[in-house]
Structure 1
Amino acid sequence: MSVTIDIAGLPAERIAFAPSPLAELCMALHALSQPAHHPGLASWTAATAAALDPCLADRLLECDFLWRSSFADIFMAFARIPDGTGLPAATLAEELDVLDRLDDETFVTAALEHSWPVHYNEGIGPSPLTDAGARARALEAAAALGPGRLEFSTRLLDDTAAVRAWLRRLIEECEAAFFAEMWRRIEPQQTADVRHKTQVLRRKGLPAVLKEVSAALSVDEAGTRITADKLVNGSTTATDPAVGAGLVFVPTHFGWPHLLVLHAPGWRPVVHYPLGSPELATAPGSVELLQRRMEALAHPMRMMLCRSLARASYTTSELANVHGITPPEVSRHLAVLKKAGLLHTRRQGRYAQHQLDLSIVARIGSDFIEGILR
């Protein structure tokens, strides 16, 4: 599974790195709503949540589904303005002005993404603002997720202008409460990272800079397609003439372990990448490798073999004697474990000694969390 970005024919100057205060505020709100996803931010989330005005905290709960488990595309409105630069604005106020430029149909569809991701699944279709069938489907999907989402969705469809104004005031209050001071501290670091990666892109090329952005990103040999290794399937193009060519990479201090790829039809693609992974000493493997390792360990006999291999090195014949199965059976199980990268094998005379790589096995839990949250 993966998300792919078609970059065939994309001019090099249309690939850019830039910080986005509005996208970063979205990630900060996500960290506040899901602190378990971000143990490295525990001190910040606890202190900020404790200092929030109770009225502001209550209003955030009214629409926390915009950032709790998924990230509404409205926080990257710069990617949807056809005549725009395709880049985030320098300040939060300017990004909110860009958000105000979205037409109501686009705003509503993106805001309803939390319950009705129709623009991802079906492309651009009838608007729930004007089509009774689309409205009914949107509200039915929202109702299935609880009364809070239904109430917000109904308000959004009945009085879009009022909800848009309400959301802007809410974001401005967050800026005054905690984000302005936070952004003042982290923006220089993000700007420095953007400057560095821009130089890497110019001097060493796209494969080199993707390697620095995330181990989950790669580009094909022809340089025509970027692939993001994620537990979702999707595709987009960076050369859609309707919105304009461009691909933007946006850094975030609050994002790890999430690697977000905006790939909605009619939007420029955006890769929202975390700065550093302090909780992990080494980069995680691919989702496919993680799945292979979990499947390899799930077999009852391989679990028994691992019990022996975790304690000492064994030959195939020794394992066959210990577990009462034939050497060919042992060899087949060892081949599965070896393909998953879970074994160390060394030659000792005429014999091959096998042992479980405990450091890799110990990482599976962390890799699983990173993989499903990526």
Structure 2
Amino acid sequence: MGGVSVTIDIAGLPPERILFEISPLAELGVALHALAEPGHHPGLHGWATATAAGLKPDLADRLHEADFLWTSTFSDVFMPFAGVRGGDGRTGATLAEELDMMDRLDDERFIACTMEFTCSSTYATGGPVDLDRALELAATRGPKQLDFVRRLMDDPASVRAWLRRLFEDCEQAFFADTWNRVRTQLAADARHKTEILRRKGLAEALRAVSPALSLDEQTAARIEADKLTVGHTTALDPAVGAGVTFLPSSFGWPHLMVLHAPGWRPVVLYPVGSPELPGPASVQLLKLRMEALAHPMRMRLCRNLARAPYTTGELADTHGITAPEVSRHLSVLKKAGLITTRRRGRYVLHQLDVSVVARLGSDFLETVLR
């Protein structure tokens, strides 16, 4: 898969440790992402518009305060079953059960997974959270996000309670109806994939989940996810229970998300179904844009910029290149009309124009957002 992929070691893993489950909390996280980033999800515009219009101002404000949990990254806090010590990979039957699991995460894990947006470069190694860096990055997002991170550092217990109430209020406001509508389809998909795994083996089950997933052909000892990021984890950590969990998602397209943090059970959240997208723009414009995207580093920058606004310095740190190099790549992308730039205080933030990328075709959109 080139050199850009996320791998999961499964050597010697018994087949019964490979689970297909459904998760109300994970689906709530993806639904919140679709609500915050409707450009990523062309097929959900109607749902996102209606849901946003129905939110009470207080709930909308609180969602904005914590939005980096589902915009800049998809926080592992939405999959607590994978981080609870001695777990079995089973999700909760209800949102309340999964919020109980979230409450059982130790403080270190809770803080680390709620501050993932600060550690994209160290996520796969499990390095400690750099608190000064976290505050600096939060400041680029805005005053509410900065206040959230300060509270998280000073009093994680109060943030736990605040976050639980937020998710419970989301359930009452819109998610209970949404979950009731999609859970039957998701449960049917999980049963179907389990049956493929049982009858035809893991390689066939992975193909059925996503064309971006495969079993290492030579050894069959690892699962490979073709993503514009590099990561590695194991499904054999006894501390969290050996195994890997697959979660179907109705709101997930085009994202294929892989939880690959050290010390967590690996999880693959995969989309069920995909919407039709319009065709590409004019040939001349398409040529300009495809040339801009042909460079592998610009592709990788697009992966960040598709998820959230970034400063030049953040991108330089994340990818291990200099700020002038980042600026040159951004200039090419901007000339092709692929990114937008805005100022917030002393920070200049760049973001991919996902609506333009969508017009290039679903293959590229699905690749950068995977």
Range into which the TM-score falls when normalised by the shorter chain: 0.7 to 0.9
Matched, 1:54 2:50: no
Inter-partner Cα distance in structure 1 for 2:151 and 2:292:
50
Asked if 2 retains the 8 angstrom alpha-carbon contact of 1:115 and 1:145, the reply is: no
Matched, 1:202 2:198: yes
Greater Cα offset, 225-234 or 138-147: 138-147
Asked if 2 retains the 8 angstrom alpha-carbon contact of 1:249 and 1:273, the reply is: yes
- Counterpart of 1:268, as a letter, is R
Give a deviation string over 1:237-288, Cα, whole Å, max 9, x none.
100123220100001100000000000000000000000123269xxxxxxx
Closer, same or farther in 2 for the Cα pair 1:10/1:47, shift >3 Å? Answer: same
SS of residue matched to 1:215:
coil
- The match for 1:189 among 185, 206, 213 is 185
The RMSD of aligned alpha carbons is 2.3
Shift, 1:115, TM fit? 2.2
Greater Cα offset, 19-28 or 148-157: 148-157
Matched, 1:254 2:251: yes
- Counterpart of 1:152, as a letter, is F
Shift, 1:116, TM fit? 3.2
Give a deviation string over 1:210-258, Cα, whole Å, max 9, x none.
1110010011122111111111111111001232201000011000000
Asked if 2 retains the 8 angstrom alpha-carbon contact of 1:116 and 1:141, the reply is: no
- The match for 1:264 among 248, 261, 266 is 261
- Counterpart of 2:275, as a letter, is P
Task: Give the TM-score normalised by the residue count of structure 1.
Answer: 0.74
Q: Number of matched residues?
A: 294
Matched, 1:91 2:94: yes
Closer, same or farther in 2 for the Cα pair 1:280/1:202, shift >3 Å? Answer: farther
Inter-partner Cα distance in structure 2 for 1:279 and 1:116:
34
Inter-partner Cα distance in structure 2 for 1:184 and 1:145:
33
Tell me the equivalent position of 1:33: 36
Inter-partner Cα distance in structure 1 for 2:239 and 2:366:
35
Q: Which has the larger radius of gyration?
A: 1
Unpaired segments ≥5 residues, structure 1:
129-133, 282-292, 300-361
- The match for 1:163 among 146, 159, 169 is 159
Inter-partner Cα distance in structure 1 for 2:236 and 2:294:
44
Asked if 1 retains the 8 angstrom alpha-carbon contact of 2:118 and 2:133, the reply is: no
| Residue correspondence of structure 1 range 172-183 to structure 2 within 5 A | 172-183=168-179
Closer, same or farther in 2 for the Cα pair 1:152/1:297, shift >3 Å? Answer: closer
Q: Which portions of structure 1, spanning 4 or more consecutive aligned residues, are displaced by more than 4 angstroms?
A: 293-299
- The match for 2:369 among 341, 361, 373 is 373
Q: Name the % identity.
A: 64
Closer, same or farther in 2 for the Cα pair 1:159/1:195, shift >3 Å? Answer: same
Shift, 1:140, TM fit? 3.3
Shift, 1:154, TM fit? 0.4
- The match for 1:13 among 13, 16, 28 is 16
Unpaired segments ≥5 residues, structure 2:
279-288, 296-357
SS of residue matched to 1:88:
coil
- Counterpart of 1:224, as a letter, is A
Inter-partner Cα distance in structure 2 for 1:188 and 1:115:
36
Shift, 1:15, TM fit? 0.2
Matched, 1:240 2:237: yes
Inter-partner Cα distance in structure 1 for 2:41 and 2:118:
24
- The match for 2:114 among 111, 136, 149 is 111
Closer, same or farther in 2 for the Cα pair 1:104/1:78, shift >3 Å? Answer: same
Closer, same or farther in 2 for the Cα pair 1:110/1:208, shift >3 Å? Answer: same
- The match for 1:66 among 65, 69, 78 is 69
Inter-partner Cα distance in structure 1 for 2:103 and 2:204:
36
- Counterpart of 1:170, as a letter, is L
SS of residue matched to 1:268:
coil
Inter-partner Cα distance in structure 1 for 2:91 and 2:29:
14
- Counterpart of 2:226, as a letter, is D
